[in-house]
Amino acid sequence: MGRSEDRPGAPEGRQGSGSGGLDVRLRGVVCRHGRLEAVRGVELEVAAGERIALTGTNGSGKTTLLRAVLGLHRRFEGEILVGGRGCRSAAEWAWRRRACGWIPQRPAAGRFPLLAGELLASSGAPAEAAVAAGRLGVGGLADRPVGSLSGGQLQRMHLARAVGCVAAGAGVLLADEPTAALDFAGQEEAAEVLTSLPVTLLVVTHDRAMAARCDRTLEMAAGRLREVS
């Protein structure tokens, strides 16, 4: 383990109310897919521990924006700071990946079958993730390949992994439509789990109940961001 200030979620990186989490700041962020400008000059300040719902039309750039914060879309213009840190070196990118937990909209296609238990363990806090999986009703599926899980079971597994990421020190959680595949009870449960974590939350959602639990709702349209509540 490195110096304490190198750990995601270390107090040196925190700001704001002390409720936990890292602050996120975006200045003039532009992301392209080839010639398409998917994110167009986004400015955003998120305080540590704040919960932001990101809504908007399909194809408006929400996923691209989250992926840029996470470091999965690295070619962007402007500045993205998490806990006051930008990313220039490989070490800084590695820190960013640990600092930000991620619930993807679609699981990455893998060449080898990944077991659900391995997905939970990759959070960095396997025990906490396993407890969360049990609470979310998928604890008994840990030995199943993730490709064999239903959409809702997989989403619950990713949610449990995210709980593990936070336990392992992530200060920001980026969630891309985390309740889209869930039944009504599951949507309620997932929203409760996500919004009660001591972390800064950016959640892409079309679920009004989830948005209502957040501190602010932002809307994205054609790559631009505006505040709606």
Ligand X SMILES: Nc1ncnc2c1ncn2[C@@H]1O[C@H](COP(=O)(O)OP(=O)(O)OP(=O)(O)O)[C@@H](O)[C@H]1O
* Residue with smaller CB distance to ligand X, 170 or 225: 225
Say whether residue 64 binds ligand X (CB under 6 A).
yes
Specify the amino acid at residue 221: A
29-40: buried (b, 16+ CB within 10 Å) or exposed (e) per residue? bbbbeeeeebbb
The stretch near ligand X (CB under 6 A) out of 3-11, 62-70, 110-118, 148-156 is 62-70
Say whether residue 205 binds ligand X (CB under 6 A).
no
* Residue with smaller CB distance to ligand X, 36 or 212: 36
Of the candidates 7, 14, 51, 62, which one interacts with ligand X according to CB under 6 A?
A: 62
* Residue with smaller CB distance to ligand X, 62 or 161: 62
Residues 6+ apart with CB under 8 A from 88: none
The stretch near ligand X (CB under 6 A) out of 58-66, 92-100, 110-118, 211-219 is 58-66
Say whether residue 38 binds ligand X (CB under 6 A).
yes
Say whether residue 27 binds ligand X (CB under 6 A).
no
Q: Are 200 and 48 in contact (CB under 8 A)?
A: yes
Query: Looking at 83-155, which runs of residues are DSSP E strands?
Result: 100-103
The stretch near ligand X (CB under 6 A) out of 3-11, 60-68, 124-132, 136-144 is 60-68
**Helix or strand run (H / E) with residue 169:** none
| Size of interface with ligand X, in residues (CB under 6 A) | 12
CB count in 10 Å sphere of residue 78 = 15
Of the candidates 8, 21, 29, 60, which one interacts with ligand X according to CB under 6 A?
A: 60
Residues listed for the chain: 229
Complete edge-to-edge strand list for the sheet that includes strand 36-46? 36-46, 24-33, 76-82
Residues engaged in binding ligand X (CB under 6 A)? 33, 36, 38, 56, 58-64, 105
